Amino acid sequence: MFRSFRSRAVLWFGVLALAVTAALAAQLGRMMSAQLQRDRGEALQVLAQSIGALLAEGLHERLREVELLAHSREVQRLGLDPAAWADELTRLQRSRPHYAWIGVTDAAGTVLAATGNLLVGQSVAERPWFRGAVKGSYLGEPRPGRLPAALPPPRPADDPLRLIDVAAPLRDASGTTIGTLGVHGDWAWARDAIGALRGERQRDTGVQVFIVDRAGRVIHHPAGPEAGAAPAPGEPTPERPRLLRWSDGALHLTAAAPMPARGPHTDLGWTVLVRQPAELALAAAAEAERAVWLAGGAAVVVGMLLAWLLAGRFGRPLAQIASAARRIQAGDLATPIPVSRRSSELEQLSTALSGMTERLVGRERALTEANERLEARVAERTDALATANAALGRLAHLDGLTGLPNRRAADARIDAELARQRRHGGCVALLLVDIDHFKRLNDSHGHDVGDMVLRAAAERLQAGLRESDFCARFGGEEFVVLLPETDPAGARAAAEKLRGAIGLLMPEPVGRVTASIGVAVSCGAEGEPSSLLLERADGALYRAKAHGRDRVELAA
């Protein structure tokens, strides 16, 4: 049905309409994707900047808070009295729940007092926060925490404790550093602040916040399966919001904002990354594209229905003409061609077909007679060609000079004999026979004499073989002999017999001609490939030539 004019017209109309719909949907999708990427990217950028500013302010407040505590008159009054500090630290932690640990050390780094008595009496001289606090105020980066479970509030398994170290020096009235005040702040305050800024709606749309340090390491990430996510290796931090490939292989709309520094101690070089899965960020574009496809598909169906009706009106006369033409083709030459007046083109077509039918009747008779004559001639030539092909097939496997099988026939026979040996076992012997000094004979007496020698050698080889043996001209002055069911001793005896037969006197002016023979025998059910058998026989022939010619050598 898809070969009719009507079907093809409807099909082409549908294809064209679908192409237009696809182009419109793709263009609309691209435009909306670009607009959404700009709009959503700006929103993510604002969120990243807000989080960066909030974190910078929070870190500055915590550093300032510790500095004020360390420099307060109350602290100077307490000095380094561990008993006095124990009560003060308990009160401080009660009023500041985001401090997971607070401790006081002397100038050598020994912990004098601490919340929960953790690390009391131990040295923290090698801790970065102590070394930094001795020189001045210190603010570290988030790190995994290992405090007793009773100190911080309970946490879910996917949200382990992370601490940020803040420390300041303790000085006496003269300004001399007598110790340090160190605080391990719970990083949960930053997670809570980020969650508050992000809001429920952005959480539902897959917005996630990451923080990377100056070296590009992720120091804050969402809890759950995304904990190990990071920008894909080689992806630079985006200067403006764009689609970025992450380590999980997915595309995310990503915005970045550096965390501003409120002072030299809070200039940590952090960058806030806010990402949203591309399919969620650009979901509106995909929905608009689907809507265009639905509307376009409905329009295509309606249009194809109208095209079907219109094509039927104009295609019906063509179908009638085609039906009449088929009857004429079937032999009903009296069938008239219907004439349609709906268009001048159809009228011209029907008139032309009518005239053409009359001419075809006469030509058909002439063609029938010509075909009969041609079929008779083809049959004669087919028989002659079959005869010639059979002769060519025979010649393709025979040597034209000696009448023996040629190299092609020899290769096939060797492969067949070795295959038979692998099936049934036993031995197969292969002899390579080479006429000695044949080139000198050719140069001395001419090629006609050389051809006579080759024919005589072929006759003597054939005469000395059994019916089951096989002899072929292998090329030049070389012959190959295949002896089935022949062990090494029998092969050597047969080779000596053939060497003696060739060594008889030839007619003048040749005289005595000798041959060297290399013998290789394959025994056992496993057998060996024909190439290896020929190689071994050739090596034996080479030894026979090297040892003086007119001799038989058996391959190892």
| pLDDT level of residue 414 (50, 70, 90 thresholds) | very high
Per-residue model confidence (pLDDT) at position 149: 45
Rounded CA-CA distance 542/517 in Å is: 9
Tell me which DSSP letter residue 435 carries: E
DSSP-derived pairing of the beta strands 515-523 and 552-554: parallel
Neighbours of 182 (CB within 10 A): 26
pLDDT mean across residues, the chain: 81
Strand partners, 554: 519
Strand partners, 398: 405
Rounded CA-CA distance 165/182 in Å is: 7
- The string of DSSP codes covering 332-378 is -TTPPPP---S-HHHHHHHHHHHHHHHHHHHHHHHHHHHHHHHHHHH
Residue 66 has pLDDT above 70, yes or no: yes
Residue 25 has pLDDT above 50, yes or no: yes
The 3-class SS string of 47-88 reads HHHHHHHHHHHHHHHHHHHHHHHHHCHHHHHHCCCHHHHHHH
pLDDT one-digit tens code per residue, 91-139:
887 887 778 888 899 989 999 989 888 888 999 999 989 998 888 888 8
SS3 at position 530 = helix
Mean pLDDT value of segment 420-437? 91
Per-residue model confidence (pLDDT) at position 499: 93
DSSP-derived pairing of the beta strands 478-484 and 427-435: antiparallel
Per-residue model confidence (pLDDT) at position 64: 87
Rounded CA-CA distance 291/275 in Å is: 27
Per-residue model confidence (pLDDT) at position 350: 66
Residue 153 has pLDDT above 60, yes or no: no
Per-residue model confidence (pLDDT) at position 547: 94
Residue 534 has pLDDT above 80, yes or no: yes
Per-residue model confidence (pLDDT) at position 283: 76
Percent of the chain at pLDDT above 90?
23
Structure token pair of residue 254 = 């990503």
User: 432 near 538, Cβ under 8 Å?
Assistant: yes
Mean pLDDT value of segment 383-401? 69
Rounded CA-CA distance 478/435 in Å is: 7
* HSE (side-chain half, CA atoms, 13 Å) at 411: 5
Candidates 482, 469, 457, 465; CA nearest to 401 is 457
In the chain, the amino acid numbered 527 is G
Residue 252 has pLDDT above 70, yes or no: yes
Peptide bond between residue 142 and the one before it cis (omega within 30 degrees of 0): no
- Lowest-pLDDT choice from 159-168, 193-202, 250-259, 494-503: 193-202
Rounded CA-CA distance 422/527 in Å is: 6
Mean pLDDT value of segment 256-261? 84
Residue 164 has pLDDT above 90, yes or no: no
| pLDDT level of residue 150 (50, 70, 90 thresholds) | very low
- Within 8 A by CB and 6+ apart from 358, the residues are none
Handedness of CA 60, 61, 63, 68 (dihedral sign): positive
Residue 392 has pLDDT above 80, yes or no: no
Rounded CA-CA distance 536/554 in Å is: 9
Mean pLDDT value of segment 451-467? 92
Per-residue model confidence (pLDDT) at position 71: 81
Per-residue model confidence (pLDDT) at position 346: 63
Mean pLDDT value of segment 47-74? 83
Mean pLDDT value of segment 326-352? 70
Candidates 474, 482, 440; CA nearest to 457 is 474
Strand partners, 218: 212
Per-residue model confidence (pLDDT) at position 411: 93
Residue 445 has pLDDT above 60, yes or no: yes
Per-residue model confidence (pLDDT) at position 457: 92
Mean pLDDT value of segment 313-326? 72
Rounded CA-CA distance 447/199 in Å is: 104
CA angle, corner 52, sides to 49 and 57, nearest 5?
Answer: 125
Per-residue model confidence (pLDDT) at position 2: 55
